[in-house]
């Protein structure tokens, strides 16, 4: 028998040049390519379908989040692999998502971090000791005069967000990953940007003007 005339469909013909599936869709929707269920009352309008999906997710937000957390707990390795792949594919989007979440939940995040430090004082002191040891083992240092030169070069602004105020020495290549503690690897950063970058890649490309 001849196949269905719909491109990519290999099912045999039934009526009007279509297979049974596309013929049934034509009878229900008036279009053999329609895929939305008519019980939704949305026909084949993708905009209306997305709006209905958004309303559903808003009404059942807690249940959906609980289901997602349960799945992640049961498939921890797969979830971590998926997140790593997604972040590598679109890092800018994930940085924006993370920044938005932080701004919306800043106080709760800070309280959670403070609680962790209070509950794990030995590990916190260990992190501090390790970092200080790495800095002491680097023969290069940044003198106060050199730090002032860096601040002037960046106009006393954060190298990532441009904010003024209290600025910290931020290592573009983290010390824990082999970066040097010198003016050739340091830019000024506000507390927020420095904490967000941590030991990761720069939040945005920066010009090390003192190279």
3-state helix, strand, coil split of the chain in percent (to 5) is: 55, 5, 40
pLDDT tens, residue by residue, 45-56? 667 777 778 888
What is the Cα–Cα distance from 155 to 149, expressed in whole angstroms?
10
- The rounded percent of the chain whose pLDDT value lies above 70 is 84
Q: What pTM does this model have?
A: 0.39
Per the model's pLDDT, the better-predicted residue between 126 and 145 turns out to be 145
**Residues, the chain:** 211
Mean pLDDT of the chain: 79
Per the model's pLDDT, the better-predicted residue between 114 and 32 turns out to be 114
Statement: residue 149 has pLDDT above 80: yes
pLDDT tens, residue by residue, 76-123? 888 888 888 888 888 888 888 888 888 899 899 999 999 988 888 877
Residue 103's alpha-carbon distances to 38, 107, 113, 121, 124, in angstroms, are 41, 9, 15, 27, 25
Statement: residue 126 has pLDDT above 60: yes
């Amino acid at each position: 028998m001849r196949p269905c005339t719909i491109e990519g469909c290999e099912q045999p013909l039934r009526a009007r040049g279509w297979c049974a599936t596309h013929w049934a869709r034509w009878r229900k929707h008036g279009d053999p390519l329609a895929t939305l269920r008519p019980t939704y009352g949305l026909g084949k309008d993708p905009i209306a379908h997305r709006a209905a999906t958004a309303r559903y997710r808003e009404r059942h937000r807690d249940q959906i989040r609980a289901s997602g957390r349960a799945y992640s707990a049961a498939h921890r390795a797969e979830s971590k692999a998926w997140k790593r792949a997604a972040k590598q594919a679109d890092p800018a989007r994930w940085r924006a998502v993370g920044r938005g979440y932080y701004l919306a939940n800043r106080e709760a995040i800070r309280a959670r971090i403070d609680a962790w430090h209070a509950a794990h004082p030995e590990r916190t002191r260990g992190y501090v000791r390790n970092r200080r040891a790495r800095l002491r083992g680097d023969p290069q240092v940044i003198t106060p005069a050199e730090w002032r030169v860096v601040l002037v070069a960046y106009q006393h602004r954060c190298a990532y967000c441009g904010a003024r105020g209290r600025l910290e020495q931020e290592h573009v290549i983290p010390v824990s990953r082999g970066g040097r503690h010198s003016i050739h690897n340091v830019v000024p950063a506000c507390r927020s940007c420095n904490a967000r970058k941590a030991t990761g890649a720069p939040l945005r490309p920066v010009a090390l003007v003192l190279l």
